[in-house]
Amino acid sequence: MDKKIKSGRDVIDEFFSEIYNIENVDVKTLESLVSLYDENKLTDKNIQNALGELLQEELTPKKKKDE
């Protein structure tokens, strides 16, 4: 029973250190979450806002180069 109990912060740090190894993850979503984490702004509201912005980017038609 020498196993150390990890704190919540330790678990989150470990998750974000390994997050790029997760297969089939949307890169933009991943980068947005990592950015919030790095800026110490990983809150429910900030995650919702960031994901909402990504959704709007995907739903907004892209303009063609010659427009």
pLDDT at 67 over 60: no
Whole-prediction pTM value? 0.74
Helix (H, G, I), strand (E, B) or coil at 27: helix
Ramachandran assignment for 32, one of left (phi > 0), alpha (psi -120 to 50 degrees), beta (any other): alpha
pLDDT digits (tens, 9 = 90+) for 20-52: 898 999 999 999 999 999 999 999 999 999 999
d(CA 50, CA 16): 17
